[in-house]
Chains A and B, each alone.
Chain A
Amino acid sequence: MSDSNRSAQPPGWEPRITAFFCNWCTYTASDLAGVSRMAYAPNTRVIRVMCSGRIDPQFVLAALRAGADGVLIGGCHPGDCHYQEGNYKCLRRFTMLRRYLSEMGIDPQRLRLEWIAASEGDKVQRVTNEMVEQIRKLGPLKLAPLPQAQGCQRAVAERAAAEV
């Protein structure tokens, strides 16, 4: 099934996007966007990380599992990383992660990487708006429900005792 022939979006649904922004560039840029009173779509939940190289692929998958319809990653421009090469590591992981998502039946456009410098508040505004529109076109992400691990016998017994 391609994205173009998907049925209409459910009424009342709004895209939810988790954004991981690096402390030194993109998060500062989003601060700038804020103090400059630039209006943009309110659909992102921003998580500040010290470096885009800190973004474990598990964070992205956990965000999707927790209900995000898309994930936006923002880091320093190539050559500008505060930690020299964290953003390059992020780029490599991002490339491979997109391929994995694609194999798992998830449109790779749900994951986006942008280099946004501290002075580029307007780019935060533009990229966020574009991403929200992109996800709106793709629709809500529907993952197969994750079965809950039952834990061990004793933990279950203790939980039951605590509830009584």
Chain B
Amino acid sequence: MDKPKVGFYWCASCGGCEEAVVDLAETILDVVEVVDIVFWPCAMDFKREDVEAMPDGTMAACFVNGAVRTSEQRAMAELCRRKSQSLVAFGSCAHLGGVPGLANLHSRQSILQACYGDGVFTTVNPDRVVPGPRTERPEGSLELPELDGEVKRLDHCVTVDYYLPGCPPPVKLIVDAVTAIVENKLPPEGTVLAPDTALCHDCPRLDSKPEEPFIDRFRRPHQIPIDPEKCFLTQGLLCLGPATRSGCDNACIQGNMPCTGCMGPLSGVRDQGAAALSAVASLMATNDASQADRVAAELADLAGTLYRYGMPSSLLFKKAEQDRTGGVPCPSE
């Protein structure tokens, strides 16, 4: 019997998800034993033409990581979808939009301006060339994929059958997913392949969390020595454990850093950041409006912190450009 064929592809991502596959270490040999990798541009020599030449549905599963922002990424996502029976959104970016999704806090115009216009990020660009779908230069014309107006997650563009959450997905969950494919024991389509309990549920520090509201001020991890035993929230550090799915074996907590929410929301939650806001705000130890506002003001970059991995999955999706611009302190009533 032929081994099931699998593929890996990346869109707008950092390469950390590919690293996670490499992190399988010796286990990857067991994986290669049972599956054939037929597409993995990051690590092996396959071309787009090779994939286009495959009959539709050739791959049992294709793991696509990264958010989607360019016309090329959309086209590749559609190609991978066509050629595979199951498409797996691999990692936070494909699942929720991820860190690249934070670009939805800015307009495309202001991003291009920052990168190419005033020379903040580029080293040498005296002519202020802004790359577009077609750029004419004396040396010839250059075609590039088009940059969309906003960052989307994978299932905004194509149908997705499974989601492997995490930034990057924990090795154990990857192995479980591959095993399920090989043994043909996949759960119902649309499932997030991780436990459906909050991180706090099995946090070793849970017992140190008091019942009553206790946050008198917020701090950032570099500002205080972090107690390795106590709940981060009791130390004033924003931990998204209450609103984040478990399955990561508390990797950050074990490393004495608070959860930043990469595993995404639990199945009953529509908007992860709002759920986190609800949990954290209600723990502020004050009943006074202006005092509450002072405490909340200590959270720098609230939107970016609550939605670090999921701005494109939030109800607001993108910063509105109509009203007052961000960062304005709100007067409390």
Stretch from B156-164, B227-235, B254-262 contacting the other chain: B156-164
B293 within 8 A of A: yes
Beyond A58-B315, A146-B315, is A153–B322 a contact (Cβ under 8 Å)? no
Contact check, B330 vs A98: say whether CB atoms are below 8 A apart: yes
Select the stretch in B14-22, B122-130, B195-203, B278-286 that faces chain A. Answer: B278-286
Q: Dominant SS at the B interface? A: loop
- A50-82: CB near B (< 8 Å → 1, else 0) gives 000100111011101100000000000010000
Selected from A61, A78, A150, the residue in CB contact (under 8 A) with B316 is A61
| A152-B159 contact, Cβ under 8 Å, with A65-B316, A95-B292, A113-B333 | yes
Most A Cβ at <10 Å: residue of B213, B306, B333: B333
Alpha-carbon separation in the docked complex, A96 to B88 (Å):
35
The reply to whether A58 and B271 form a contact with Cβ atoms under 8 Å apart is yes
Q: Which of A56, A93, A97, A145 has the most CB of B within 10 A?
A: A93
* CB neighbours of B239 from chain A (8 A): none
Query: Given the complex, which residues of A lie within 8 Å of B329, measured CB to CB?
Result: 99, 102
Given contacts A92-B281, A93-B278, A100-B277, A78 and B319 within 8 Å (CB-CB): no
Contact (Cβ within 8 A) B278 A152: no
Instruction: Tell me if A58 and B278 are in contact (CB < 8 A).
Output: yes
Bound CA span A61–B316, Å: 7
Contact A92 B292 (CB under 8 A): yes
Min CB distance B160 to A, Å, is 6
Interface size range on B against A:
35 or more
Which residues from chain A contact B314 at a C-beta distance below 8 Å?
61
Chain A residues within 8 Å of B297, by CB: 99
Q: A148-B156, A153-B159 are in contact. Are A102 and B330 (CB under 8 A)?
A: yes
Indicate if the CB atoms of A106 and B315 lie closer than 8 Å.
Answer: no
Interface centre among B155, B156, B316 (most CB of A within 10 A): B316
- B316 with A95: CB separation less than 8 A: no
Residues of B within 8 A of A102 (CB): 324, 326-330
The answer to the question of B150 belonging to the interface, with a C-beta cut-off of 8 Å to chain A, is yes
Instruction: Tell me which of A57, A98, A150 contacts B156 (CB under 8 A).
Output: A150
Q: Say if the beta carbon of B325 comes within 8 Å of chain A.
A: yes
A147 to B311, CA, bound (A): 12
Interface residues of B in 272-330 (CB under 8 A from A): 273-275, 277-278, 280-282, 284, 286-287, 289, 292-293, 296-297, 299, 301-303, 306, 312, 314-330
Q: Is A143 an interface residue (CB 8 A)?
A: yes
Is B118's beta carbon under 8 Å from chain A?
Answer: no
* Complex interface: chain A residues within 8 A of B152 (CB): 147
26 pairs of residues in contact across A and B, judged by CB atoms under 8 Å: A57-B278, A58-B269, A58-B278, A62-B271, A91-B287, A93-B281, A95-B330, A96-B299, A99-B329, A100-B277, A102-B327, A104-B303, A104-B320, A105-B323, A113-B333, A141-B322, A145-B317, A146-B317, A149-B156, A150-B158, A151-B155, A152-B162, A152-B190, A153-B86, A153-B87, A153-B161
Residues of chain B having any CB pair with chain A under 8 Å: 86-87, 104-105, 150, 152, 155-162, 189-190, 213, 269-271, 273-275, 277-278, 280-282, 284, 286-287, 289, 292-293, 296-297, 299, 301-303, 306, 312, 314-330, 332-333
